[in-house]
Amino acid sequence: MVTAEQITLYIQTIPAVPSILKEALAHIRNGELTKAAKCAEEDPALKLYLKTLVNRPAFGFRNEVSDVSQIFSILGTAGAYQILHNYLLSLLVPKKWSLFDLSATAFYDLQASLSQKWEHILAHLRLQNQDTQSAISLLPAGIIVCDALFGEHKADVEQLRSVKALDYNTILYRVSQRTLFDICDDIARIWEMPPLAARIVHGASGLDPHLEGNEKLLAQWMHLLLFYELSQGPYVSAGLNEFLDFQIDFVHDIYESFIQVVGYDESNR
């Protein structure tokens, strides 16, 4: 089963932010979208990623968008900042998933859908800025980490889950005293992500008793968003619905509002 040493070794394999991406993010923080786009154009892999992600059905563009300047202009400062952080996940995504039955296309669709719905949620809450919007780009990192750590122990995990029906996050905590969200904190530090974004994602586990104010509110909405997405057919089939335990008490007071906002989003796609 997974050990603390294996977790440490995994964290050591996480690559730093590429220099071109770091420069592009700095331009966006300064509000210079044109300079950021020119910078991103210099990296063929980054350009291809941006084009592939924004042309997924979740973004709803009628015509293909291929120019980076156009992509950034459509997304705006906060959206461009978020999608560049999304690209960092491509540095971690496995060529072949070991635990979850996911394809590259399915993971693109998950990222795109999370991004779009999170943007609608932030607009509804009037809490939209670079830090809060970039938080959603870190959330799927937990799925990648889960696959990486448990993939080699799939038979053992399946046997344990058949007896106790535990989610992966709970299993990891019981064997290592660390959660998938703790490891996301480590990833956020390596990638120099905004501290607020990391706190929101950590709180989205629904198990953080120290949250308050807007951070708690955002964590509640993100927790519900994660479960809403992972309850969709393709992700249930992939096994992602076993990723985390749903904390109903954590989100009961926003549930109706969430359905209204996400339902509106779905009806307008």
Total number of domains in the chain: 1
3 state DSSP class of 30: coil
Q: What is the CATH number of the domain that holds 130?
A: 1.10.3210.10
Q: Supply 91's token pair.
A: 């540095």
Dihedral angle over CA of 246, 251, 254, 259, nearest 10: 0
- Give residue-wise pLDDT tens across range 201-222: 999 999 998 899 999 999 999 9
Give the residue from 206, 197, 83 showing the smallest Cα distance to 135: 197
269 has a pLDDT exceeding 60: no
20 confidence band (pLDDT: 50, 70, 90): very high
The contacts of residue 229 (CB under 8 Å, 6+ apart) are 110, 113, 114, 117, 235
User: What pLDDT is attached to residue 161?
Assistant: 83
Total-model pTM:
0.89
- Give residue-wise pLDDT tens across range 219-247: 999 999 999 999 999 999 999 988 999 99
> Which residue type does 75 have?
L
**Residue 189 belongs to what domain range?**
4-267
- Give residue-wise pLDDT tens across range 50-88: 999 989 888 888 889 889 999 999 899 988 999 999 999
CA 221 to CA 251: how far, in whole Å?
Answer: 8
User: What pLDDT is attached to residue 266?
Assistant: 60
265 confidence band (pLDDT: 50, 70, 90): low
CA 96 to CA 109: how far, in whole Å?
Answer: 17
Q: Do 41 and 47 form a contact (C-beta atoms < 8 A)?
A: yes
